[in-house]
Structure formats: structure tokens, C-alpha cells
């Protein structure tokens, strides 16, 4: 693809150098376009050397560069997109080569915002982004981490590898989940005892986040309903939740039109019957009640053709418990996760599972990265979507 890489003036411009290199490595023809402010952070020579393409000087160089760039682009990626660039783009201004190119193009546009947290949370920025989203612009959300000047917070540009992964997922060769709506739940829910304490479990959310990322990379439109405190993968719609009740509501809404539902969350099975309004100072007699079985509810109301995946985190007799759960929950795939096995389960970066299906099929997935396990699960999901049963 011919990709115009727009670079605006923030400190993350130094990371745009790597975005450029990775896009070139992925086989794209990259034309870098820098704003004047971007040139204060990085030299144009760096981009032109990586892209083997001169960086155009500006609007006033010969040959009407903005229309040429806009018309010939297959994709425009703006990384970083500063608050100023987003404002000018949303307002339809065309006062430099980058904004003029953005107006002149009919190609899809991806923006990768980067700015300080206060600016990112400002209503002006939120409204500008909402306008751009409504016009079809794709957004690779910023992450949280270290910002200019040593501050820490949300607003840091997504990592170059994630930006390029989003580009590949959205505009690359169609993956086997292209056009499919996938909803993933992740993390351990937290059930309030009082405003200060919660009951929770050891789930980190890593496996669920890996499933969301893998589904994104295979072309799906992903919604991630997460109780995890980990950074979610970019390029997916994130619905943060805390309790089983929150998760039930969010999943119900998200799953209505979903093709695939992967319930990787470790939903609390029990919660305090009542949670105190103020901090408790004496050891309470906790009375617990069962939480709603979210996945059973989803199974009962699922739309035709929807593939439903459950998990079973067990410490003993995992396979027998898994088989019983497969029947009881009415799911198409049940991922049995023996969390007592070395290197598997809670908070590890690796996992080892067995995927059970009605009819007796069992796929053993040996110890490997959670991302690779996620792809093995999605391989079976795709097979079921294509009508293959056990």
C-alpha cells in the first residue's frame, strides 16, 4: 500500500521513526509528511532515509503536493496526532501540507493521538475525536505511561508495533475473522464488601486480553469487557467493569449482535449479600450469595450461529469438571485451564489448555505464550463459524 505517514509536533515524533521503519518492513511504500513543529523534534533526513522517499517541504513546493499526496494515498496514518493537529483536522482547516492532504484524500485515515493527560481528557479534544470518529477516522488509542517532562499518565502514543498491527488488521489481507464481531470478557471481577475492600480472585486478565488482540489481528471488530487493571490492547473497543453485575450488563449489551463471545473472565462465583455504605471497622460476618451465571444467560438468549466460548479454571480433576461444565453451560467450546500446572494460569505469560467441544472433540494446546494459546482457541472458533462441528 502507498501510506502517507503524517508526523505532527510532539515528543512522540521520535517514535514515528519506528512506525515508519515498521511500515516499510511490512512492504508498504511510505511517504512521510512532517509539520513544522515535528521538524523541531526529529530531522526530515531520518524519515526520508528510512522511507527512501524525500519528505516534501510544504504546501508551496511545486506540483500541488497536497492533492497529489491525497489522491495517490491508499492510507493516511498520523502518528503522533497532537491535540492541535486533531483540532485543525476536525475543523477542516488546511493550513499546512499535512492538514491539506487530510482534506484532499478519500483514503482511510488512522490517527494515533499523543499528548499530556490533561490535554487528552479536555472536552475539546474529546469532542474533536468524536467528530473524527463519526467521519470514519480510525483511532489507535494512546496508552498510559511516561510522558514528556517525566510525568506519568494516559496520553502516551501507542507503541509502534501496535500501531502497525492495527494497520495490518484493519487494512491488510483479510483475516479469517474479517467483518466478524467478537466480544471478549477478561479479568477477575471485584465484589464490594464496603467502599474500601473487595473480594476478588487471582486472574490477571492476560489470557482474555490476548484473545482480544488475536481476534483484532485476524480482522475482527472487537469489544473487550474487562475487569483487569492491565493496559488493554489498542484497536479494540474497551468497556471497563468492576463487579459481576457490571459485567453481566455490559456483556448483555455487547453480545446482542456478536458473532463470537469468549468469556475468559474469572467472574466471582460469590459476592457479599450486602455491601456496607461506609468503611467497616469490626470483622464482619460475611454472608455470601451466588452471582448471576453470565455465560448461561448469554447461552439462553444467543442469536443463531453465534459461537460461545467458556473457560474453566480448575486446580483438580480439571478435565472431568470441564466436561460437566461444557454440558451445563451450553457453550460451543470450553477451554479447560489447569491453573495448578507449572507455567500455566493466573498471571503467567504462558498457558496450557485443552479445548473441549460437544461430541467429544478435545484439542490439547501445549505450554506456550498466551497469545499463541489465544490463536489456537480462535482456530477452533473459526472452524465452528464455518460450520464444522466436532
What are the residues binding ligand C5P (CB under 6 A)? Answer: 244, 263, 265, 267, 269, 291-295, 310-312, 325
Q: Which is nearer to ligand C5P, 199 or 267 (CB)?
A: 267
H-run or E-run covering 169: helix 160-171
- Give dist(CA 225, CA 53) in Å, integer: 42
Cell of 343: 507455567
260 close to 298: Cβ distance less than 8 angstroms:
no
Q: Which is nearer to ligand C5P, 75 or 267 (CB)?
A: 267
Examine residue 80 and say whether the peptide bond preceding it is cis (omega within 30 degrees of 0).
yes
In DSSP notation, 252-320 reads HHHHTT-SEEEE--B--SEEESS--SS---S-----EEEPP-HHHHHHHTPPTT-EEEEEEEESSSHHH
Catalytic residue chosen out of the listed positions 128, 201, 337, 351: 201
Q: What's the closest the beta carbon of residue 29 comes to ligand C5P, in angstroms?
A: 45
Q: Number of helices (H) and strands (E), helices first, in the chain?
A: 14, 19
128 annotated active-site = no
Q: Which is nearer to ligand C5P, 97 or 263 (CB)?
A: 263
Cell of 192: 464490594
Q: What's the closest the beta carbon of residue 13 comes to ligand C5P, in angstroms?
A: 42
Among residues 63, 16, 62, which one has the least CA distance to residue 35? 16
Q: Which is nearer to ligand C5P, 19 or 263 (CB)?
A: 263
Q: Which is nearer to ligand C5P, 35 or 228 (CB)?
A: 228
- Give dist(CA 13, CA 365) in Å, integer: 41
Q: What's the closest the beta carbon of residue 350 comes to ligand C5P, in angstroms?
A: 20
Q: What's the closest the beta carbon of residue 244 comes to ligand C5P, in angstroms?
A: 5
Q: What's the closest the beta carbon of residue 309 comes to ligand C5P, in angstroms?
A: 8
Sheet holding 362-369, edge to edge: 237-240, 221-226, 181-186, 260-263, 307-314, 333-338, 350-356, 362-369
Residues annotated as catalytic are 201
Amino acid at each position: 500500500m502507498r501510506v502517507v505517514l503524517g508526523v505532527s509536533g510532539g515528543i512522540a515524533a521520535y517514535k514515528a521513526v519506528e512506525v515508519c521503519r515498521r511500515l516499510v518492513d511490512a512492504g508498504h511504500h511510505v511517504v512521510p509528511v512532517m509539520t513544522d513543529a515535528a521538524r523541531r523534534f526529529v530531522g526530515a533526513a531520518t524519515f526520508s532515509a528510512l522511507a527512501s522517499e524525500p519528505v516534501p517541504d510544504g504546501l508551496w513546493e511545486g506540483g500541488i503536493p497536497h492533492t497529489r499526496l491525497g489522491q495517490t494515498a491508499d492510507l493516511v496514518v498520523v502518528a503522533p496526532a497532537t491535540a492541535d493537529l486533531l483540532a485543525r483536522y476536525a475543523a477542516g482547516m488546511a493550513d499546512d501540507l499535512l492538514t491539506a492532504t487530510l482534506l484532499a484524500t478519500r483514503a482511510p485515515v488512522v490517527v494515533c493521538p499523543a499528548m499530556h493527560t490533561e490535554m487528552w481528557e479536555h472536552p475539546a479534544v474529546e469532542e474533536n475525536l468524536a467528530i473524527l470518529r463519526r467521519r470514519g477516522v480510525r483511532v489507535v488509542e494512546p496508552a498510559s505511561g511516561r510522558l514528556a517532562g517525566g510525568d506519568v499518565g494516559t496520553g502516551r502514543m501507542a507503541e509502534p508495533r501496535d500501531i502497525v498491527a492495527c494497520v495490518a488488521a484493519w487494512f491488510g489481507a483479510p483475516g479469517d475473522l474479517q467483518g466478524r464481531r467478537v466480544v471478549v470478557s477478561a479479568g477477575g471481577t471485584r465484589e464490594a464488601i464496603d467502599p474500601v475492600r473487595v473480594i476478588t480472585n487471582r486472574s490477571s486478565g492476560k489470557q482474555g486480553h490476548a484473545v482480544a488482540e488475536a481476534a483484532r489481528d485476524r480482522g475482527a471488530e472487537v469489544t473487550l469487557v474487562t475487569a483487569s487493571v492491565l493496559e488493554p490492547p489498542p484497536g479494540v473497543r474497551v468497556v471497563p467493569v468492576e463487579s459481576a453485575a457490571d459485567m453481566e450488563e455490559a456483556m448483555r449489551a455487547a453480545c446482542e449482535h456478536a458473532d463470537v463471545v469468549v468469556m475468559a473472565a474469572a467472574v466471582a462465583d460469590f459476592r457479599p449479600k450486602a455491601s456496607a455504605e461506609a468503611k467497616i471497622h469490626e470483622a464482619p460476618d460475611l454472608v455470601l450469595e451466588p452471582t448471576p451465571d453470565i455465560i448461561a444467560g448469554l447461552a439462553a438468549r444467543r442469536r443463531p450461529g453465534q459461537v460461545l466460548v467458556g473457560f474453566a479454571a480448575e486446580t483438580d480433576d480439571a478435565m472431568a469438571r470441564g466436561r460437566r461444565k461444557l454440558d451445563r453451560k451450553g457453550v460451543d467450546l470450553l477451554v479447560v485451564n489447569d491453573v495448578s500446572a507449572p507455567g500455566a494460569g493466573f498471571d503467567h505469560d504462558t498457558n496450557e489448555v485443552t479445548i473441549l467441544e460437544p461430541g467429544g472433540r478435545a484439542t490439547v494446546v501445549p505450554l506456550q505464550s498466551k497469545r499463541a494459546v489465544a490463536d489456537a482457541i480462535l482456530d477452533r472458533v473459526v472452524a465452528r463459524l464455518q460450520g464444522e462441528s466436532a
